[in-house]
Chains A and B, each alone.
Chain A
Amino acid sequence: MWKQIRDREAAKIRPDSFANRIKSNRIAQLQLSNYKDIATPHKGAINSLQIDLTEGRYLLSAASDASVAVYDVQRATDYDAGGLISRHKCIFVVDKQHELGHKYSISSAIWYPVDTGLFVTGSYDHHINVWDTNTTQVVMNFKMPGKVYRTAMSSLATSHMLIAAGTEDVQVRLCDIASGAFAHTLSGHRDGVMTAEWSTSSEWVLITGGCDGAIRFWDIRRAGCFLVLDQSRTQLGTRPPILKRSMMTKETKSRAAQRKLANGSGSKHSPIGRVPAKGHAKQRLHPGLLSSQDRATAHYGAVTGLKITEDSMYLLSAGSDSRLRLWDIESGCDTLVNFETLRLQSSKPIQLATTPDSAFVFVPCMRSVKVFDMWSGNTRTTFRGHYECVNSCWFSVDDQELYTGGNDRQILVWSPARLITDELNEGPAEDQDNWSN
């Protein structure tokens, strides 16, 4: 640590690499934080957590008792035990008492990516509400055809304000905040859609995972999905071997050419064992919708969680088959990283988190949170602290802290160990051995 500082002083290492080293060091030290308590007002399981993307300061939590709360994670409201423990109480809470509040469990709550003035909640009472943070009033309301599992907004979007909503319904709907109407309905899934995630590289690309086990990539400017992930298409390692790669690139090139002709379609991914009689009907369909015929699955059972890496090259998916798969988005192949045995909650969507350098992935595994090395799949640590199933993880990039929420109504903070325990003399006596004689 001190050596790094000296190197930085001597300008031997660049500022960003210095920062990254410090950060990765801190991430490696994550443990249950003793000095940061988040006092939840929720009376039910916590389904979703998000820290705002602009300031990295306000934590939004949604719970199954139809309440949403916002906390300031940087400034504590009060202190316990002589200043040792900082307690973060919620700034405000919206619950059933609110006249326009949700009636049933809120499955997802997200910040408006541009500022903290708005947030969006999706609930099992079939509604998506858009709230004004300052007045805690509903400014917009979308009625969905079924329970809302997941809402997502693109953090890159500059030309649209769409909320992608995964619901019980087979269609993925895009709700436009600007107009207050459904902009698109994306159909292709054969069952409800549990998760939805916007690409981190393109504002038009949406990824959805359904209860049918399929993961579909949508370009919202075009009809139909352009990629369906298939668990049988695999590649060894994170990048295809060079030989294959050249082949692949060729293929993709040709594919791109083909796409130009066929106005973009996923039909070429269709498995060989397709019934030939259907070929005729396929021709009749709109070429963009041909992909809806593709029944390839990414998981056996439902896809419960999706997480795209920061560089938008890889996709992590969790399924109710208790598998975690790492996909190469470019090739659409499973990279066959074996994430060590784990058991995942299958009834609810789960929220995964990755570190910004994509080194680790945090996965809620029943009562614990496991930290996997993304590229080898080895378990790095297991965070135990929750007494019931964990539903969501959120990694705060600025503070290198992990927030987890579970069915035991707790939001736990996992933070790097404090380097300097400041004001020790002020706090209570230090924890010590206490042997008699």
Chain B
Amino acid sequence: MAMEDEARVQGNKARALIEKATNSTAPEVDPRLLKAIKSVVRYSDSELRVAAQTLMDFMKRDHSQVRYLSLLIIDELFMRSKLFRSLVVENLDQLLSLSIGFRRNLPLPAPPAVATNLRSKAIEFLEKWNVSFGVYYRQIRLGYDYLKNTLRLQFPNIQANSARIQQERRERERRSKEILLNKYEYLKENLSSIKGEIELTVGEIGECLDILRSKDELISDDILDEEEREEFRSFELKQLRHDALKEGEKVHENNDNKVVFDALRELYKLLVTRHLVSIQEWISVLIRIETVDTTFRDSTLKELIDIQNDLKSVKKKCEEAGCSLTNKPKHDEEEDFWEEGNAVSIETTTSSAPNNNNGNLDVASASHKVNDPTHGSSCKKSIGSAHEDKEVQSNSPRSKLLAEAPVVKWGTYLDDWGSNRVFMANQRGLELENHWGRVDIDAVIPSDKIAELNVQATIYEEKKIEIQPCRAPLRNGALCQRRDLKICPFHGPIVPRDDDGKPLNQTPSEDNMNIDLGTDDLVRQLAKQAVKNIREEDNRLARQRQIDKQELKRAKLAKIREHNEAVLRDAALASTSRSATLGEDTEGTDAEKRSSRDKEQNLSSMLRKKVTSKDRIAQKLLNSRVTDATIRQHVSSQEAKYKEAFPNQW
């Protein structure tokens, strides 16, 4: 008796756990509960029996969600315990009919979405069980066979699929190996010809370089002679001289050696684009290949690596000789070059207009000038190096200044940018004397007047701001994508929200403050922008005036801001059903409501039918009052028709 009692008590534990685990709307069993069930059931056979019985009971519940969760637990235990398997297998047909619903008189219960899930899961599990335990249990084989061959249910066929994928992969590997082997064979046959080709190219390059160098020597000798007469004592100077000599050694292209250079360039290109690449490829083939004959492979590999090193050294020599690969199409190069030139010219125009009160620019131009020799050295300067140049400069003060500098519209006034030149007023090529009497030819327009005349008016352009979506959580789990400026008609004021759609600031009052701050911020930003622009424009205006103006503007903007806010508030009032003042606390209550709704969502709520728009329409259209009215209308219209048709019958 005591034992039995104990068993019952223990059984209650498993039962309670299972009950708890299945009473949930989640698509998964709570892993903690599952673990608890497993550990309870593992050490006690009586618990296991109770658990099996309980699970079968739950499978009979008239709710797909309960059945679904029970099935998940059954699967977990089934995969683990032998005793559980033997218990479940006894009633496998019942379990299958309850989870798959293949008997016509026992369809799966509501809700239908979970029911389909349950069915597919059950089929999947049955297949898994059949694969793992079908050998030991005839019942599983029978059930599987019945569902597959008699009812012709579609099984996911996991095993066959994975086998097929494996097969495909093996096939692919085999094919690639075959290709590799073919390549290897080809290499075996043609190794000498490949080597010959490469050697030929290398030899030609060597010849070209020799020619160039021989020409070189004549010139450099001269230089050396000249320079040897002078004396350099300090080491630094010697070093400098050495560098210079080296630099001087470089042969520059001219009309004499143009042909040689062309040939060299051609060969270089061949070397880089073809031979180096092919050698690389062969090496990789040799590395990957698996053959019995390793001697040939090793020796060839060695040879190839040697050749590769050789080629690399040749390539380096070529580059030293001033030959770099420009394998881009010609017009592209031109375009790039033109752009480059343009940029430089702009820079020069801007920088060659030193301004009195714009010292920074001067510095920039100076730095630019420092770089100039390298920058615009020759037309053959490759694009790549130019880019490099730019990158090098990217953190120089000049570039920083460039980033800050205002963008000014292009105009003729740029010609006299920053110059303090005075203009002769009457020397414009017009002969004015005879028409209007005496003319003072020496009359000048002072520079400040000119500056005043050159003041450029710019139209203030507002920055385009992307309107943020509302991002309030919807019922289907997505976020509201409505883009309203201030207030979403469905979700109230737009506040920054995280990925779950929860507002980042919790309390509604803060929230409201934040909105105000936000607008404040925005306006201030606008103001700043405007002010900045204007300041740049009015660079030459007196400080005092500027400040005055700014203050005036600020005041004006403040006024505008106030006005805007008022307008927005009105708009908000108009666009939302709630008033803005109510809206302050709606956020909190809304969230509360939602959470309460979440809490309320339980097994019974899953069964509740959703009210669709169709239902609502039906409710409107099919109530008795409306139908009565319709019938009345119909009858009266028929009567009218009748009277019309037979006017003299009454």
Which residue numbers of A lie inside 8 Å of B, CB to CB? 32-34, 37, 80-81, 84-85, 367, 384-387, 408-410, 412, 428, 431-436
Among residues of A, the one whose C-beta sits closest to the C-beta of B92 is: A384
Question: When chains A and B are docked, how far (Å) is the Cα of A434 from the Cα of B42?
Answer: 10
Cβ distance B82 to chain A, nearest Cβ, rounded Å: 5
Question: When chains A and B are docked, how far (Å) is the Cα of A34 from the Cα of B38?
Answer: 28
- Number of residue pairs A-B, CB distance < 8 angstroms: 53
- Judge whether A433 and B81 touch: CB under 8 Å: yes
Among residues of A, the one whose C-beta sits closest to the C-beta of B90 is: A384
- Judge whether B136 and A367 touch: CB under 8 Å: no
Question: When chains A and B are docked, how far (Å) is the Cα of A84 from the Cα of B134?
Answer: 12
Cβ distance A407 to chain B, nearest Cβ, rounded Å: 9
Identify which of B138-146, B221-229, B348-356, B462-470 touches chain A: B138-146
Cβ distance B78 to chain A, nearest Cβ, rounded Å: 10
- Judge whether A433 and B82 touch: CB under 8 Å: yes
- Judge whether B82 and A34 touch: CB under 8 Å: no
Q: Which of B81, B91, B136, B143 contacts A435 (CB 8 A)?
A: B81
- Judge whether B142 and A431 touch: CB under 8 Å: no
List 9 other contacts, CB 8 Å, given A386-B93, A412-B138, A435-B80. A34-B136, A37-B138, A384-B90, A384-B91, A410-B145, A431-B133, A432-B82, A433-B80, A435-B42
Cβ distance B452 to chain A, nearest Cβ, rounded Å: 87
Q: Which of B81, B94, B137, B146 contacts A34 (CB 8 A)?
A: B137
Q: Which of B83, B94, B135 contacts A85 (CB 8 A)?
A: B135
Cβ distance B81 to chain A, nearest Cβ, rounded Å: 6
Q: Which of A34, A387, A412 contacts B93 (CB 8 A)?
A: A387
Question: When chains A and B are docked, how far (Å) is the Cα of A86 from the Cα of B139?
Answer: 16
5 contacts between A and B (CB under 8 A): A32-B139, A81-B135, A387-B146, A410-B145, A431-B136
- Judge whether A410 and B135 touch: CB under 8 Å: no
Q: Which of A32, A409, A428, A434 contacts B150 (CB 8 A)?
A: A409
Cβ distance B570 to chain A, nearest Cβ, rounded Å: 65
Question: When chains A and B are docked, how far (Å) is the Cα of A33 from the Cα of B94?
Answer: 19
Among residues of A, the one whose C-beta sits closest to the C-beta of B149 is: A409
Instruction: Number of B interface residues at 8 Å Cβ cutoff, please give it.
Output: 24
With contacts A431-B82, A435-B80 taken as known, whether A387 is within 8 angstroms of B142 at the C-beta atoms is yes
Question: When chains A and B are docked, how far (Å) is the Cα of A140 from the Cα of B411?
Answer: 118
Complex contacts, A412 vs chain B, CB 8 Å: 138, 142
Q: Which of A385, A410, A434 contacts B79 (CB 8 A)?
A: A434
Complex contacts, B79 vs chain A, CB 8 Å: 434
Q: Which of A80, A384, A409, A434 contacts B80 (CB 8 A)?
A: A434
B 122-154 contacts with A by CB, 8 A:
133, 135-139, 141-143, 145-146, 150
Give the one of A367, A431, A432 with max B CB within 10 A: A431
With contacts A384-B90, A431-B85, A436-B80 taken as known, whether A408 is within 8 angstroms of B139 at the C-beta atoms is no
Among residues of A, the one whose C-beta sits closest to the C-beta of B42 is: A435
Cβ distance B113 to chain A, nearest Cβ, rounded Å: 27
Complex contacts, A436 vs chain B, CB 8 Å: 80
Question: When chains A and B are docked, how far (Å) is the Cα of A109 from the Cα of B167?
Answer: 48
Question: When chains A and B are docked, how far (Å) is the Cα of A428 from the Cα of B133?
Answer: 11
- Judge whether A387 and B150 touch: CB under 8 Å: yes
- Judge whether B138 and A385 touch: CB under 8 Å: yes
Bitwise interface map of B from 53 to 96 toward A, beta carbon under 8 Å scored 1, else 0 = 00000000000000000000000000111110100001101100
Give the one of A384, A387, A434, A436 with max B CB within 10 A: A387
Q: Which of A34, A387, A428, A433 contacts B138 (CB 8 A)?
A: A34
- Judge whether B93 and A410 touch: CB under 8 Å: no
With contacts A384-B93, A433-B80, A435-B81 taken as known, whether A84 is within 8 angstroms of B135 at the C-beta atoms is yes
- Judge whether A387 and B143 touch: CB under 8 Å: yes
Question: When chains A and B are docked, how far (Å) is the Cα of A386 from the Cα of B146?
Answer: 9
Among residues of A, the one whose C-beta sits closest to the C-beta of B138 is: A34
Cβ distance B129 to chain A, nearest Cβ, rounded Å: 12
Complex contacts, A367 vs chain B, CB 8 Å: 93
- Judge whether A408 and B150 touch: CB under 8 Å: yes
Question: When chains A and B are docked, how far (Å) is the Cα of A412 from the Cα of B141?
Answer: 12
B 459-498 contacts with A by CB, 8 A:
none
Closest 5 CB pairs of A and B: A431-B136, A81-B135, A387-B146, A34-B138, A433-B82
Question: When chains A and B are docked, how far (Å) is the Cα of A412 from the Cα of B146?
Answer: 13
Among residues of A, the one whose C-beta sits closest to the C-beta of B43 is: A435
Question: When chains A and B are docked, how far (Å) is the Cα of A431 from the Cα of B81?
Answer: 10
Among residues of A, the one whose C-beta sits closest to the C-beta of B39 is: A435
Question: When chains A and B are docked, how far (Å) is the Cα of A221 from the Cα of B205?
Answer: 123
Question: When chains A and B are docked, how far (Å) is the Cα of A217 from the Cα of B636?
Answer: 79
Bitwise interface map of B from 142 to 184 toward A, beta carbon under 8 Å scored 1, else 0 = 1101100010000000000000000000000000000000000
Complex contacts, B91 vs chain A, CB 8 Å: 384
Question: When chains A and B are docked, how far (Å) is the Cα of A408 from the Cα of B139?
Answer: 13
Cβ distance B5 to chain A, nearest Cβ, rounded Å: 27
Complex contacts, B135 vs chain A, CB 8 Å: 80-81, 84-85, 428
- Judge whether A385 and B80 touch: CB under 8 Å: no
